[in-house]
Structure 1
Amino acid sequence: MAKRISPRLRTVNKSVSAYPLNQFNSEFPYILGQEIVYLLASKGRADLQGNEWEQIFALCLGAEWKPSNVGLDDVVMGNTAWGAKTVKSGVKDFTDLKKVRLISGRNSPVFSFGSTIDTSIEPNLVGEQVLEIWNERVSAIREKFKHLRTVVLVKSSDLSQVAVFEFDTIRYDAELFNFSWNKNGNLEGFVKGTKDKQFVWQPHGSQFTIIEKVPEETLILKIKQPEVLDKEKILSAIGFDKSWVTIKRK
């Protein structure tokens, strides 16, 4: 009997992401560190806001900053988009980071489904509606981008330590979670069969929080604190005088 030959198939072109998950290029840490040092020196305080992180991350990648109302596609490069988030941590050594809580928008079943929500309502029903709102947002962005990620900057209060990691932004199947009301009247979602909390939803304000594990591949930096730039010297160096200011109405 003749040996069976496997058929030759045409190569299928798959959509490749901008780079493998959490494998930032070699210059990424230094550009990030440079931008944080400049921010500390110019502001004179450890104040890094979400929109600043979006811009810094885009600069580190050589990507495009496109601030989004949805917050899931603030940075774009080719077929990949990122939502960028910042979160503070009081952990002394960032190598000990385990989980972070990410505020992920306002999901209101009252607005989206016309529901009346209180703790007397079956929690799994409310949890399903909250996740459905999230899933619809993710699906809408995935129609435009083949690859969708969230990039997180964890920061110490003085920005002497930062950690950066990313994960795929996904839809969540409500069937995989159990929901319950806690003593504060907030909804909590746990992975079925475990005590692993994944979600918190607050009826007052509709704030939706996702609890994310910090991966082993997380980039961790220690930042040397710079001296604050002298404002008067900077103004003098650029030649500022009163002629730069025009009074339009007194």
Structure 2
Amino acid sequence: MKKVLLLLCSMFFVAVSAQKKGKDYTDILKSKSIYEINAFLRDAHPDDPKRSVLKPRVMEMMKEYIKNAHPADQKVKDMQEMLAMLRRRPSTKITFDEMNAIIKQKQIAKYKAELAAKQSTTVYTPSTAQNTYVVNTAANAAVPNAEAEEFNMLMAVSPVEHKNRTVKILNSLFDNDPNTKDAIIMIQNKSDCNIIVRMEGVGNTKYRLAVPAQGESSIVIEKGQYLFTSLVCGAQYASQKTIERAIMVALGGQ
């Protein structure tokens, strides 16, 4: 009997602990946050009655945000995409495969346009010590201009080199063979600083990718183990990754 009681107590403790770890949507009907309501719609049970109230509300909030946003507001595009998704489905929740497919189609469109234009369509501000690192920090004073110069050098590719790189990326995007030795890496830079992402693999396998502030870039690398490093507005980033398929890495987000 004691064992049964102990088991029941343990199960109750686990259930309570799991509930505490989950998001608290107790006051969700009072929420004025687009992101909080959107998160609720992704997490809530399909039959939750609060959905019928909150989905139309958050859609109106998104429309209002888009209407009043500054023309340069980076969030507008995200809001438009979320709004379009909510018109078609119960929430903005998507599977990993769906997300990959969306990213893939965007990348194909981007690099097809670049191939047709015979030049990069990326708009960026050349690097200086000021827009590579956070200004007015102790670290900034000690940072040489080498990082900024390297970024500018990596971005200033010749038309022939750009074409070859673009063709390689497109070939990788269209290649659905899981046994291929290469994988495409897309880096999203959500910071206000130009960055260089360095990927160091086994032996002498090394790659560098310049990514403009609030921009994105892609590179095709050999599959394997890599140490990803970067300086994001002066802050060190380092992450060990096993590359077995195409991935997206976002840096500098809040």
TM-score normalised by structure 1 residue count = 0.24
Q: Which structure shows the bigger proportion of residues in strand conformation?
A: 1
Higher relative contact order (CA 8 A, sep 6+): 1
Q: Which structure shows the bigger proportion of residues in helix conformation?
A: 2
TM-score normalised by structure 2 residue count = 0.24
